[in-house]
Amino acid sequence: MNADERLRRLAGRAREDSPPPTDVADRVVRVLTTRPPAAVSMPERTWMWMAGLSVAAAAAVGIMAIPFYEMWNDPFTEVVKTISWVIQ
């Protein structure tokens, strides 16, 4: 018996299975309606500000790094242009 046949038999068994008889909708709705929404606490707010500032700093560094990447990549581009007749 090869792997394909084993997978087909396993898929056939899985199609015969029925889902368990559970109903969670009432419990979920009850939990959502009875608990008040949690307010953001002060430590969480501090972490959110730090994350926002970190993203802003990373974006600024990324934008400033583009010209340096182009300067670093220029010698490679020159070599490729020089030997491009070989590739054709």
Distance CA(14)–CA(8), nearest Å, equals: 10
Please state the domain extents for the chain.
Answer: 63-88
Distance CA(39)–CA(11), nearest Å, equals: 46
Question: Over the stretch 38-47, which tens digit does the pLDDT of each residue have?
Answer: 666 778 888 9
User: Is this model's pTM higher than 0.75 or not?
Assistant: no
Question: Over the stretch 11-53, which tens digit does the pLDDT of each residue have?
Answer: 888 888 887 777 778 877 787 778 676 666 778 888 999 999 9
Angle 25-27-33 (CA atoms, 0-180°, nearest 5)? 100
- Does the pLDDT at position 74 exceed 80? no
Q: In the structure encoding, which two tokens stand for residue 53, read together?
A: 């500032």
Nearest one of 44, 46, 42, 26 to 34, comparing CA atoms: 26
Q: In the structure encoding, which two tokens stand for residue 46, read together?
A: 């501090």
Percent of the chain residues past pLDDT 90, beyond the cut? 22
Distance CA(1)–CA(9), nearest Å, equals: 11
